[in-house]
Structure 1
Amino acid sequence: MMVASCTAIFILLCSFVLASPTATETHPRLFNKIYAFGDSFTDTGNTRSVSGPAGFGHVSNSPYGSTFFHHSTNRYSDGRLVIDFVAQSLSLPFLPPYKYLKGNDSFHGVNFAVAGSTAINHGFFVRNNLSLDITPQSIQTQLLWFNMFLETQGCRGAETKTQCKAAFDDALFWVGEIGVNDYAYAVGSSITDDTIRKLGVASVTGVLQSLLKKGAKYMVVQGLPPSGCLALAMSLAPVTDRDDIGCVRSLNNQTYVHNIALQASLQSLREQFPQAVIIYADYWNAYRMVMKNPSKYGFRERFKACCGVGEPYNFDMFTVCGMPSVSSCKNPPEYINWDGVHLTEAMYKAVHDMFIKGGLTHPALSNLLDMKHH
């Protein structure tokens, strides 16, 4: 989710929002590098600024990062994200954000994810008068950044096969959830969920296709989480709009249908690129499993934000985490929601663990790790 992830949501006052911690078991150097894409759920610092992204408070301020890093790293959490836990479980360093690469930072991969990103090109929202003055990046932007990065590695096409091979060999492509912001932009407009879904899935599919054509062999694609469980959504939707786990039914249905379409698209890509391993990470069901039995995962609070103000969900979109007057809870690991729009490190770790060894990837990510290991 994102600079725009929040911004779209915050400024639009829409309840249609969306939207890693240490692995106990490591898989030493099965991959030499990771390239990550996505929105604010995956962004490790591409939206760094003096005051944080417009529309979502101050991610550059405390208490962001307080649990693990002990200072803000411009991650939208109190600590690590799913992608950070993935890197740790593969014995790789945390991924540097593309916009702030230094020297040899990129040796073990790069993170192109940026908060607020959409799946659909930003121009679509501009043309439909749905754009606000927020981060204009989309997943196509991230592909452009990746292509520019390849050039810095000497990979410029057929005549530089050796350099290109080095950039892609033993690389894991991790495509974090992206698309929630698109629905947020369209709230209150005449553009239907169906249109957003079709355009969004097509856009992501096009980017995946491009990466696969360039040489990506190992790819994990996250679905959307149940965005109706976030404090922002809960605080804006009518209390009559609830599902079996107490979250906003309309939003969770929206992301569920989106994920079905995405999975169909991934199956088509598997047929087009049989030499590649394309894995779907089921964020939707991972989140639901935690919601159904929070105490099993160490959580006490399912809905309230750890960092925020206001009743009943400790969330007020005009007084958000990172502002001087806002404090955080004393026990973030007991909370699922961090700031009302993003998750705590503890929740990101729970999701990561389900992806790596909990069977919520299709085909099983553990099989890929075993295959690479042998």
Structure 2
Amino acid sequence: MATAQISLITITTILIFSSHFSIATKTGIPSRPFKKVYAFGDSYTDTGNTYSSTGPSSFTYVSNPPYGTTFFHHPTNRYSDGRLMIDFVVQALSLPFLPPYRDPKSDKSYGVNFAVAGSTAILHSFFVKNNITLDITPQSLQTQLIWFNKFLESKGCNGSTRSQECKEALTDALFWVGEIGANDYAYTSFGSSVSRTTIQKLAIYSVTSFLQALLNKGAKYIIVQGLPPTGCLTLSMSLAPTDDRDDMGCVGSLNKQSYLHNTIFQAKLNDLRKKFPQAVIVYADFWNAYANIVKSAKNYRFRELFKVCCGSGGGTYNFDASSTCGSPASTACTNPSQYINWDGVHLTEAMYKVLAHSFLNGTFCHPTFGYLLEKKLQSG
């Protein structure tokens, strides 16, 4: 949208939204552009569907301290020291934190989080068939869709999507599809015969099909993340040869892989936009938002780009895959806000906060988040 075409309502919306980003929880009478949020994804988005006994291999201590230490002051089964991106998003929308779908006692009036740590875009059975069993999490994006359908049925939305029950569940909802697909590639990193090209095609097809299913149900406002620069994660840095580095100092081959995945995926999103012109589909550019922070780390007061805050082993990265964060041998830094990486794969609350702001202020969303809000206001 050209600058000259930005309407007064858009500018007003962005200003209101920006103020709510920091004060929504303090005002008492915050504005709510959406009545509810539905979230999907993997550990970057999971707010509690995964417990230690069911979590990804190597990261089986999410129910132990010091997870959650910064904000909640106790573990909440979030893979971070505090809030995730989705937590900052719902706070900015003046909504409560999203409860995990697997918690039967939680209040789901304002939305549900279906994300599961370790989830793949591709069906779990594909990895089992190909003897790729690095992860004990059987859930995939398809599982989350099944859960979502069951949730809709519990609300009486089990027939025509035009029913009143379905309208109440879908019309005023924001759909947040967090990063999904990084686990699929990770499965092939340890001697698998499955090619990266196969993973790319299947993963993109799975996510695209999932989005189409949501759109067919009546979803109108969707934000979907691309993959981050996975070569900047501590786990990747610790395993890759030192001569495989890019201009950020990260693992170049993995970052190229993620970037190519995102490029192809964005083309698929454009196809969906043409097929569903009544919907607003926003691409959250996780790769470039993350890269921007790494390249300008001092501006965000990050001192450690790759070393983990919570881990063991010392050395350059303080990371040992056999004794990850929360294990008896691990320790946590006293200043997680200066670290990007929390436990080797997952990020600190400070990093998630900066990323959320990067998306919500419009810079790394296409089209902008302000555009999505304007469309929502116009629709009533």
TM-score (norm. length: structure 2): 0.90
Does residue 357 (structure 1) correspond to residue 361 (structure 2)? The answer is yes
Q: 1:25 to 1:272 in 2, by over 3 A?
A: farther
Q: Select the residue among 33, 55, 60 that pairs with 2:58.
A: 55
1:78 CA drift (Å) = 0.2
User: Which residue number in structure 1 is paired with residue 302 of structure 2?
Assistant: 299
Shift of 1:127: 1.4
Q: For 1:280, what is the secondary structure of its paired residue? A: strand
2:333 corresponding residue in structure 1: 329
Shift of residue 295, structure 1, vs aligned partner: 1.0
Closer/same/farther in 2, CA of residues 334 and 99 from structure 1, 3 Å limit: same
SS of residue in 1 equivalent to 2:142: helix
Tell me the residue number matched to 2:346. 342
Q: Deviations over 1:209-237 (max 9, x none)?
A: 00100010000000000011011110110
- The C-alpha deviation readout for 1:257-293, integer Å capped at 9, x for no partner, is 1101110111000001000000000000000000101
Question: C-alpha distance in 2, partners of 1:158/1:139?
Answer: 23
- Unaligned 5+ residue runs, structure 2? 1-19, 25-29
Of 92, 99, 102, the match for 1:99: 102
Name the structure 1 match of 2:114.
112
* 1:125 alignment partner in structure 2: 127
Match in the other structure for 2:193: 190
Residue of structure 1 aligned with 2:39, choices 36, 39, 63? 36
Query: Within 1, Cα distance between the matches of 2:148 and 2:88?
Result: 22
Q: Which has the higher contact order (CA 8 A, sep 6+)?
A: 1
1:24 equivalent in structure 2: 22
Pick from 312, 317, 321: which aligns with 2:321? 317
> Residue 331 of structure 2 aligns to a residue in which SS?
coil
**Partner residue of 1:370 out of 349, 374, 377:** 374
- The 5-angstrom pairing of residues 165-184 of structure 1 reads 165-184=167-186
- Amino acid paired to 1:110: V
Q: How has the CA–CA distance of structure 1 residues 52 and 322 changed in structure 2, closer, same or farther, with 3 Å as cutoff?
A: farther
**Which range moves more in the overlay, 52-61 or 75-84?**
52-61
How do residues 254-265 of structure 1 correspond to structure 2 at under 5 angstroms?
254-265=257-268
| CA distance in 2: counterparts of 1:265 and 1:78, whole angstroms | 34
The answer to whether the 8 Å contact 2:55/2:118 transfers is no
Maintained 8 Å contact 1:52/1:60: no
- Aligned partners of 2:135 and 2:336: how far apart in 1? 32
- Whether the aligned pair in 2 keeps the contact of 1:37 and 1:175 (CA below 8 Å) is yes
Structure 1 position 100, deviation (Å): 0.8
Change (3 A) 1:134 1:209: same
Q: Give the Cα separation in 1 of the matches to 2:298 and 2:201.
A: 37
- The farther-off stretch of 51-60 and 128-137 is 51-60
**How many Å apart are 1:51 and its aligned residue?**
8.2
SS at 2:200's partner residue?
helix
Q: Percent identity?
A: 62
| Preserved CA contact (<8 Å) 1:51 1:60 | no
- Shift in Å at residue 159 of structure 1? 8.3
Q: Say whether the 8 Å CA contact 1:23–1:89 is kept in structure 2.
A: yes
* 2:218 aligns with one of 212, 215, 219: 215
Higher radius of gyration, 1 or 2: 2
Measured on the aligned residues, the alpha-carbon RMSD in Å equals 1.6
Give ranges in structure 1 of 5+ residues lacking alignment.
Answer: 1-21
**Rounded Cα–Cα distance in structure 1 between residues aligned with 2:222 and 2:54:** 34
The 3 A distance-change label for structure 1 pair 159 and 292 is closer
The question of whether the paired residues in 1 share the 8 Å contact of 2:52 and 2:60 is answered with no
Q: d(CA) in 1 for partners of 2:297 and 2:181?
A: 26
User: What is the TM-score with the length of structure 1 in the denominator?
Assistant: 0.91
Q: Contact 2:179–2:225 at 8 Å: present in 1 too?
A: yes
* C-alpha distance in structure 1 between counterparts of 2:299 and 2:66, whole Å: 26
**Partner amino acid for 1:120?**
I
Shift of the 23–160 alpha-carbon distance from structure 1 to 2, 3 Å rule, reads: closer
Q: Which amino acid aligns with 2:50?
A: T
* 1:271–1:307 Cα change, 3 Å: same
Hey, what's the Cα distance between the residues in 2 that align with 1:158 and 1:354? 37
Distance 1:352 1:25 in 2: 15
CA distance 1:260–1:344, change in 2 (3 Å): same
Give the whole-Å Cα distance in 1 for the aligned partners of 2:251 and 2:172.
41
Question: Secondary structure in 2 aligned to 1:99?
Answer: coil
- How far apart are residue 53 of structure 1 and its match? 4.8
